[in-house]
Amino acid sequence: MRKGTLLFLLALVGVLAFLWVQKEQETRRGGPALAEYPLCPELAAERVRKLRIEHLERGFEMALERDAAGRWFLTDPLAYPAQNALVRTLLEALESARGEPAPEVVLSQVGLDPPKVVLTLQEVNPDGERTLRIELGVVDLDSKLIYARIPGHPRSAEGGGDVFRTTRMLANTLERNPDDYRERSATSLSPQDVLSFRRQGQVFLAEEGRFVDLAFDALLGPDGWKRVTLPTVSLDPQALGLLVRGGTDLAIEHFVDDSPQDLARWGLDKPVFTVALEPLDGPLVTLSFAHGAGDGAKPLDELPWFCMRQGFAHVWEVRLRDVELLTRPADLFFDSLVVRMLRSDVTQLELEGGGTRRVLVRETKRGKDHWTVREDGPAGAGVAQPGNAAAIEAALAQLERVQLAEYLQREPFEAADPPQSFTVVLSNGARLGGTLGRATRDPKSAAQGRQYLRAGDEVVALIGDDVGALCLKPLDEFRSRRVHDIQESTVRALELEHDGKTFTFVNNGDNQWSPRGEPIAAPKDFTESLDKLLHLAVKRWLAVPGESQVLLRVRILPLEGEALAFTFGRGADGTVQCVSAAGLAAEVEGELPARLLKLF
């Protein structure tokens, strides 16, 4: 056999094999693939304004309309807010639905004469309004498909008619009652929009074994949530946010009655308790709750709970867990954290105790934070001195961790003598903190500590003794152990003056130093003293500079900014002190100036 003939036969076998595989695939699919078209060509869900569903098989009709803000509402069989997400799901199913033409079917045999379900959509386009009708019939022999008819479908001539086989997703979406389309939340408020929360009434709490008064008014102000019914007390923002969410997200379990004639049937003629939510914008939302079970001296979970919203003629049965949340005792929402802050927002910490006030201030210079500390007394403000950043940050960290053990609501406050307090000042001007009082204990747990009254509050709390110890810490605990800390690479030159004579040493780059105007390296006594000079250590801080004999004047000239000047002097007692241009004084080691004086 010739080579060409052999190649021809191999190619022929390959083609036949390919055609056989294609035939087998078509057989498994049920036959040759048919054309497939969009069920609702050019439908844009966002342009649909009205929707009517006629479920002829189940015997109900309903209509929905969208307002100018894009929210959907039921208009038939009753007026009520609709679940926007569910309506969007239905429209998106229509928008994406595709179908295969079924020109061979008889309408009456596939449930399309009459149809089982009819959808009518009104779409608003730039060119005007368009009405689209979708009819659904029975399930196909292939149970994954259902018959649908689109009168006037633009591809009907091409497909041989306006009947199509499409997936059951659309039919499954429509297997709902009108109530399923109703909004399941009692309000449309967002928790972030609520400015005040007011609660009135009383319920039987099983854990207390008695009826508990629910009176509780909370107001959101510039300094957070506070209970405004006397006595005033700060509230935990997370806990109060959860309580507010219990009202804004109140879930409807069942729609009980849409035109009640006798509210006493559910106890709503005399509600057990009410919740009023005041939003940032819009009218007050008031919810009334009742159980219709006599005096209600039973645990909450043994009673059915009904609700009405003021101005709405609907009775709902609501979710038990929302009722349990909304009836929690007010003291569970008192704020247990002493301060709520971001450390980076703190600009000042004030500690009062022992008759003086220690003020720790954060300053920003050349893009870096520096702390200064001072002690204010009866005579006025003290001199600011460099602060120990690590010690101050540790004090702030301690305050961040402090929690109040308990609120002692019936205990009068007795301030400590002399006064003890702390205040944290934030960058926005807010002042957080409070005052400490006498020693006390919690009668419920026997925990001991100090009385604490938060600024702006009127209810005493129990705080640990460690906060009192912090208020009494001496200023020396927060002072820096160095007069200054300067990076060598930021220094351009350094001047030393003694007995009318001045030496200047210049940083030539890479921290190589030489006398000004000379090509040689700086003396050893200078280079070995440089690090201690730039990071000058303190033996002890002095309240005021003492009488001393000036030994050496120093000026450090930075690459940017003003020069730093200070002097070394010897006191009458032989100690060496350093005095800055601002008048700060500290005792330092005498070895450093002694070595530098060898240069002269």
pLDDT digits (tens, 9 = 90+) for 353-364: 999 999 999 988
59 is a domain residue: yes
- Whole-angstrom distance, CA of residue 308 vs CA of residue 321: 17
Four-CA torsion 211, 301, 81, 170, nearest 10 degrees = 170
359 and 401 in a single domain? The answer is yes
Task: Report the DSSP beta bridge partners of residue 504.
Answer: 495
Shared-domain flag, residues 373 and 468? yes
Nearest to 131 by CA among 39, 55, 40, 60: 40
**Residue 326 and residue 353 in one domain:** no
CATH of the domain at 542: 3.30.1490
Question: Do 119 and 200 reside in the same domain of the chain?
Answer: no
In a domain, 25, yes or no: no
Rounded CA separation 46/123 (Å): 9
Pair 122, 66 in one domain: yes
Residue 19 domain-assigned? no
Instruction: Clarify whether residues 505 and 564 are in a common domain.
Output: yes
Is residue 169 domain-shared with residue 82, that is, in the same domain?
yes
Residue 208 token pair: 């207390």
Instruction: Among 477, 499, 533, identify where a domain stops.
Output: 477
Give the amino acid at 445. S
Q: Are residues 146 and 280 in the same domain?
A: no
In a domain, 20, yes or no: no
DSSP notation for 266-279: GTTTS-SEEEEEEE
Contact by Cβ (8 Å): 60, 121: no
Kindly state whether residues 401 and 465 are assigned to the same domain: yes
Q: What 3-state class would DSSP assign to 59?
A: coil
Domain that holds residue 53: 37-181
Gap between the Cα atoms of 519 and 506, Å rounded: 11
Q: Which two tokens stand for residue 210?
A: 């008695």
In this structure, the answer to whether residues 76 and 124 fall within a common structural domain is yes
- Note down pLDDT in tens along the chain; length 600 residues: 555 565 555 555 554 555 555 555 544 544 444 578 999 988 999 999 999 999 988 889 999 999 988 899 999 999 999 999 999 999 999 999 999 999 999 999 999 999 999 999 999 988 889 999 999 999 998 889 999 999 989 888 887 889 999 998 888 888 888 889 999 999 989 999 999 999 999 999 888 888 999 999 999 998 899 999 889 999 999 999 999 999 999 999 999 999 999 999 999 999 999 999 999 988 999 999 999 877 777 888 889 999 999 999 999 999 999 999 999 999 999 999 999 999 999 999 999 999 999 999 998 876 778 899 999 888 777 888 889 999 999 999 999 999 999 999 999 999 999 999 999 999 999 999 999 999 999 988 889 999 999 999 999 999 999 999 999 999 989 999 999 889 999 999 999 999 999 999 999 988 899 999 988 999 999 999 999 999 999 998 887 888 889 999 999 999 988 899 999 999 888 899 999 887 888 999 999 999 999 998
Domain-ending residue, one of 477, 508, 541: 477
In a domain, 503, yes or no: yes
pLDDT on residue 368: 79
The domain total for the chain is: 4
Query: Does 15 reside within a domain?
Result: no
322 and 259 both lie in a single domain: yes
Q: Which of 456, 477, 498 is the last residue of a domain?
A: 477
**pLDDT score at 10:** 55
Joined together, the tokens standing for residue 507 give 């940083």
Q: With H, G, I as helix, E, B as strand and everything else as coil, classify residue 597.
A: helix
Residue 206: the pLDDT is 85
- 122 shares its domain with 172: yes
Quick check: is 31 in a domain? no
Q: How would you class 526 by CB atoms within 10 Å of its CB: exposed for 0-12, middle for 13-18, buried for 19 or more?
A: buried
Residue 319 — φ and ψ, nearest 5°? -70, 135
Task: Compute the 3-state secondary structure of the chain and give helix, strand, coil in percent, each to the nearest 5.
Answer: 25, 40, 35
